[in-house]
Amino acid sequence: MKAVFAEGGLWRHLLSMTAARSVGIMATFVVDFVDVLFISRLGDTRLVAAVGFSAAALFFIRAIAIALGIATTALVAQAVGSGNGQRAARYAFNLSLLSFVLMATIAAAVWLGRGTVLSWVGASGETLHFASGYLGIVLIGLPLLSLGNCGTATLFALGSARLAMLVSLSATVTQAVLDPILIFACGWGLQGAALASLTAQMMLVVAAWYVVIWRYRLRAPLRPRLLALNIPAIVA
């Protein structure tokens, strides 16, 4: 396994990784803009407001997923730099498992109390009802978002900034294509936008981990004992 960051100019690495990472992070939030863009064409301001309130409720949860992705990049890159491919694979897969479980737990808690959470950010009346339905579907995909983030973070750690950026953009493009189909052609409105978001997150997971597993041959067994051994490094 080649340690890309141990060779070449430092500024070149900084610029290429920062640019690609910025695009990847923006792509995570652009999906909300895409939803608002198409939902606004339905001519119902309550639906647009519902997407906005849902985005506000999701912001901090998505931030946790991004933070776990950063931890993945740091630990996998350290292992790759030391020439330990097995440890790099173990960090990648264990952090993905931990992220999935943690985000599933958070998403389940928010799903059960999504009405209260939405009221905290200002939703009320029919807008609260629409936002609750939209958020209920999008929350199902948050564990997938964490898996996708860990996958792209692993690609960044391997020095494959371009592939990681393309994987992130593939999810955004998927949603941009599906939104008008599910919202207008299928007539599903706000629920269609939420299903498009869920599908985009599935695309992110499939694309990221296909590259990690089949191109870079990074594989490791998922064992609770090994995960427990890695917890101190992950927390740090």
pTM: 0.88
Q: pLDDT for 66-77, tens place per residue?
A: 889 889 999 999
- Whether residue 10 is predicted with pLDDT greater than 80 in this model: the reply is no
Poorest-confidence range of 27-31, 54-58, 100-104, 137-141? 27-31
Phi and psi based region of residue 3 (left: phi greater than 0; alpha: psi -120 to 50; beta: remaining): beta
Phi and psi based region of residue 7 (left: phi greater than 0; alpha: psi -120 to 50; beta: remaining): beta
- What is the predicted pLDDT for the residue at 114? 95
- Whether residue 151 is predicted with pLDDT greater than 90 in this model: the reply is yes
Poorest-confidence range of 180-194, 198-212, 219-233? 219-233
- Whether residue 180 is predicted with pLDDT greater than 80 in this model: the reply is yes
- What is the predicted pLDDT for the residue at 124? 93
Q: Is the CA virtual torsion 164, 166, 170, 171 positive or negative?
A: positive
